[in-house]
Structure 1
Amino acid sequence: MKLLHIDAGITGPGSASRHISAAVVNALTAADPTLQVVRRDLDADPIRHLDSAGLATLADNEVLREFLEADVLVIGAPMYNFGMASQLKSWFDHILVAGRTFRYGPNGPEGLAGGKKVIIASARGGVYAPGAPSAAADFHEPHLLQLLRFIGIEDVAIVRAEGLALGPEAREAALSKALADAANVPATLTAKLVA
């Protein structure tokens, strides 16, 4: 089994999404030591934003191959300005490829990349979860979920830390909860990873 670990946080060692995604990957590799992990750091090694020159190689590129070979994805996804980091959006632009991960048929778009499990390590300064006063401003997690659904991925879990900018105590509490949730991720995946 292959796991693709993606980090998009740009705040270095203080990045909550990086701490959470690392905790998820550590928990999964502890549960299955044979798991092969490929890591892509979108801050240290940015992917070129999609442009006219890159269209020619879109159907066959390293980013797409890594994605297609992965059985499980762990995506460190911080919220910046109500949405995902531009580095992560660029990564998605390289994997949403007509004929490879989706196609259009008589009933509209059809995802071709189903069967993968995705865990999103979400980090947000405010509180945007459903029911929160700021929920309508969440263009982060709904966008991520829509992109994954579009290519056929329905098996998505979110390990979330939010309210990180509401003071040191709120940050510590949110991060502690998210790290505890990350440690429990293998319980939901064990059967799939060893099957």
Structure 2
Amino acid sequence: MSHILQIDASARTEGSVTRDLTRQIAARLGGTVDHLDLAATPLPQLTEDWVGANFTPVGDRTDAQKAVLSQSDDLIARVQAADTLVIGLPIYNFGLPSALKAWIDLIARAGVTFSYSPDGPKGLLTGKRAVIAVASGGTPVDSEIDYATPYLRHALGFIGIHDVTVIAADALGSDSDTKLAAATGQIEALAA
């Protein structure tokens, strides 16, 4: 049975397009769903203590350093356990929500989710799939003013997730019904 990590980043809990789309995608794909709501459980920003703990060799970490990294460890374990990530990406002011950026900061860890090699960084979370549900009021997906979708696609690839599908409900400020119907059609075409 497939294991899905559904990540919602919209500050809106009611009337959120991305939340509706991630629910539809998870239902379409089937399997067990682990739901991570970044609005309900805000993540911390990186701190000097976190960076210091992260760059301390595992065997040399103090109990305090282990505690500082424990939330990051838990978030990474949830990604490692998933076959598919379903990520809601509302575009705020041409970029991604700070809650989603905090999640990326906490899961992108050298030696854990990526490694450095003579050929450059190598993602360690291979064999996974991601489906990104993007919604925006006026920003077309992958346009020159969309700094969110390419960033998230790159961040996922950086940790080894290259099988990425984007479901776009973009520029909803104009003809939203048609665009939402098109997004639903994209979801219905997804292979389970």
Instruction: Provide the TM-score with structure 2 as the length reference.
Output: 0.85
Specify which of 65, 71, 74 is matched with residue 77 of structure 2: 65
Corresponding position: 1:141 with 2:146 = no
Q: CA deviation at 1:129?
A: 3.6
Q: CA deviation at 1:91?
A: 0.6
Separation of aligned partners in 2, 1:128 and 1:142:
12
Where do 5+ consecutive residues of structure 2 fail to align? 54-67
Separation of aligned partners in 1, 2:186 and 2:94:
23
Query: Contact between 1:58 and 1:97, CA under 8 Å: does it hold in 2?
Result: no
Specify which of 87, 104, 123 is matched with residue 116 of structure 2: 104
Residue aligning to 1:157: 165
Residue aligning to 1:51: 47
Q: Residue deviations 1:54-103, cap 9 Å, x none?
A: 34344862111111111111001110011110000001111101001111
Runs of 4 or more, structure 1, over 3 Å off, are 57-60
Give secondary structure in 1 for the equivalent of 2:144. helix
Residue aligning to 1:90: 102
Give secondary structure in 2 for the equivalent of 1:126. coil
Specify which of 136, 140, 150 is matched with residue 124 of structure 1: 136
Instruction: Provide the TM-score with structure 1 as the length reference.
Output: 0.84
Q: Which residue identity lines up with residue 5 of structure 1 in the other structure?
A: Q
Task: Work out the percentage of aligned pairs sharing the same amino acid.
Answer: 37
Query: Contact between 2:141 and 2:168, CA under 8 Å: does it hold in 1?
Result: no
Separation of aligned partners in 2, 1:180 and 1:9:
22
Residue aligning to 2:185: 180
Separation of aligned partners in 2, 1:138 and 1:104:
29
Query: Contact between 1:162 and 1:174, CA under 8 Å: does it hold in 2?
Result: yes
Total equivalences in the alignment: 175
Separation of aligned partners in 2, 1:118 and 1:160:
14
Residue aligning to 1:28: 29
Separation of aligned partners in 1, 2:19 and 2:43:
18
Q: CA deviation at 1:180?
A: 2.2
Q: CA deviation at 1:48?
A: 1.5
Q: CA deviation at 1:26?
A: 1.1
Q: Which residue identity lines up with residue 181 of structure 2 in the other structure?
A: S
Residue aligning to 2:58: none
Where do 5+ consecutive residues of structure 1 fail to align? 30-34, 191-195
Q: Which residue identity lines up with residue 179 of structure 2 in the other structure?
A: A
Query: Contact between 2:131 and 2:166, CA under 8 Å: does it hold in 1?
Result: yes
Q: Which residue identity lines up with residue 173 of structure 1 in the other structure?
A: T
Q: CA deviation at 1:44?
A: 0.9
Give secondary structure in 2 for the equivalent of 1:84. coil
